[in-house]
Chains A and B, each alone.
Chain A
Amino acid sequence: MEQKILTIRMPAQDQFSIRKNVLRASHGKPTARAAVVSGIHGDELEGLYTIYLLNRYLQEMREKRPEIFRGQVDFYPTVNSLGLGSLNRSWPFFNVDLNRQFPGNREGHVPLQAAHALLEDLQDADLVVDIHASNKFLLEMPQIRMQEVYAPKLLPLAEKSNVDFVWVHGSSSVLETTLATNLNETGIPTLVVEMGIGQRLTPAYSDQLLQGLLRLLCHLEIIDLPEEELPVLRPPRIIRDHEVWYFNAEASGLFVPEPNVFGEWIREGDVIGKIVDPLKGSDLQVIASPRDGRLFTLREHPVVYEGSLLARLVLQPADMDEGEVARDDA
């Protein structure tokens, strides 16, 4: 059932809405309500495709095996529809980042109202998944990011999500204005997925996350798949801030990564790429890794300034003992 949570008239005889699609069990009171959100940033499309996959899967299930679909799932795939339709990360016209407007305000200007409307609409959800896709610069392996304060509640959920990593990080004041923080702060568990890259699709990642979302819906008893039909998942590696190594550019120029480094284990001394000067025909920086680890973030946009993020490495646990290995494979 399609619904609009906010409609605003625009000056040129036009209007826009924030739209959602609600899938409910055909019979009885829904067991629980989950919501999947994407497109808060207009340049992030991976979540739209993931929602398409889950939406189609659940609609088919509801039709063919209605007894299995017992809860409610709400999809909000294209929150910043104006940005999505105009290649804008921000909210056009106002030029603001919608994910810095929360909790929003009923009386504020349009992006604040949009934030307020979305937050209100998610108030009685039992789980929210907000899917982001990095930005147009960086390619990310599927991961969930959470602030440490919410980890006790979120980690058990994140571990069922079929992502490669869960990054438990410290707080920052910027995050106080995001959707996820505002929901988690009011006790609504909200997972932030980061995967793929802006302005593109990485369908394999959407397929991977779909399996995790089905697991989560089973966990919430929204769907009641028999155990043998449930996807088998690999638990994610849990990362803390001190286990992440950042490569920031030391030169300004054109960044050319080595082929086949993304997602791979890198050894100390391995070259991951270089920054070149086309005018002089010279290398400005050859980037060798100072540590062992897995390259889970890689820059795809080649133009770099001094300081631009080139890659991130999750370090190999120095003291990987029996216990940690066991947890990795559990």
Chain B
Amino acid sequence: MHEAILELNIPFREPMVIYKNEFQGSGNGPLISLVSGMHGDEISGMYLLSRLAAFLDRVERGLEPYYTLEGTVRLIPVVNVPGVNFATRNWPFDGTDINRMFPGYDQGETTQRIADGILQATVDSHYAFDVHGSNEQFFEIPHLRMFSPTEEDLRLAPYLRCHYLLRRELTPLYKTQLSYQWKESGISPYILMLGVARRIDDDLVETLYQGLIDFMLATAVLAGPPPAPPLQPPTFGRNHTHLVLSRTAGIFRPTVTAGTMLRKGELLGQIVNVLSGQVEEEVRAPASGLLASIRSYPLVYEKELLARLFTAEENPSGAADVWYQEQ
């Protein structure tokens, strides 16, 4: 069922509508909401939700004979409508990051109204997903981010087939995000992070698509064949993080791909001087562990983040919780 959750007049043209696509099952199963497209350039998440919509439509029409919908699935694939249309991450008019405007305010600035609309449209959920991609500069293997997960959250997380679970520390910044407001409202928030902005990675989307169907089976939103046996993903936090920073500026050429296990000292890539063409730095793994993300945008500043690596053992130097804050 397509339904407008927020309509907003746009200067000099037709109104903008944020839609939800809701599938209501026959039983008393829980309500799960999935939101994507808060950033207009994070396309993989939108594609993931559109795949789910097509699947649920087939379930509804009896074309997926093994599955029945017991609960309700609410999909909100596009929040930043003009951002998606103009291929910009933030609200195009004033550059506001909508995911910094929560809880929002229905009488406030435009993006506060949007934030309020999204929160109000999802606040009755039992489970809620905010699906993001990385920004343009970084490739992230699919992972799940959580603040203070409950035991139930940790029991369900493995069904999603993410490569790892990241425990984020609560900093002032996160209080203005949708997921924090869900948590405040008593909903378990799941932040899915995958790929890189501005493109679709079919393999990642396929993995999470299967993972979300399993999650819905495990939470009795969906009835059907038993989900794949879940594999507990490793859990990392700030103390397991190793950051790889550039020591020079230039063109970064990686020699490994994200998701691989690296040994300490192994070559990650090179930084080449633009003018001379000389290799100015050989970038090596600072520890043995999982290469979780690597720079996709090739130009780098000095002292710039090139890769993030997680180790099973705690990092004694206690790496700071340094991230691209817009992620």
Q: Report A's interface with B, CB cutoff 8 A.
A: 8-13, 89-90, 93-96, 100-101, 105, 107-110, 112-113, 135, 137, 173-174, 176-177, 248, 251-254, 278-279, 303-309
Contact = CB atoms under 8 A, between A and B. Distances in A.
B9 interface: yes
Nearest to B298: A11
Chain B interface SS verdict (over half): loop
Contact of B95 (A90, A100, A177): A90
B249 A303 contact: no
B302 A309 contact: no
Contacts of B94: 135, 137
User: What 8 A-B pairs come out closest when comparing CB atoms?
Assistant: A176-B172, A307-B110, A9-B249, A252-B9, A9-B302, A173-B175, A11-B299, A108-B322
Interface of B: 8-12, 89, 93-95, 100, 107-113, 172-173, 175-176, 243, 245, 248-251, 273-275, 299-305, 319-320, 322, 324-326
Contacts of B320: 105, 107-108
Contacts of A304: 11
Contacts of A305: 8-11, 93, 110
A177 to B, nearest CB: 6
A308 B96 CA distance: 12
B110 A11 contact: no
A100 B9 CA distance: 30
Given A90-B95, A105-B320, A11 B274 contact: yes
Contacts, number: 105
13 contacts: A10-B301, A12-B274, A107-B319, A109-B324, A110-B301, A112-B322, A174-B100, A174-B172, A177-B172, A252-B9, A279-B12, A306-B8, A307-B109
Nearest to A174: B176
A304 B322 CA distance: 36
Contacts of A12: 274, 299
B304 A109 contact: yes
A142 B318 CA distance: 44
Contacts of B304: 109-110
Given A177-B172, A278-B12, A109 B305 contact: yes
A252 B16 CA distance: 11
A252 B10 CA distance: 5
A306 B9 contact: yes
A251 B10 CA distance: 8
B11 A253 contact: yes
Given A11-B301, A305-B11, A248 B109 contact: yes
Given A173-B175, A248-B109, A307-B108, A105 B322 contact: yes
Contacts of B319: 107
Nearest to A111: B325
A109 B324 CA distance: 8
Contacts of B93: 303, 305
Given A13-B274, A248-B109, A253 B303 contact: no
A101 B110 contact: no
Contact of A307 (B113, B172, B251): B113
Contacts of B113: 306-307
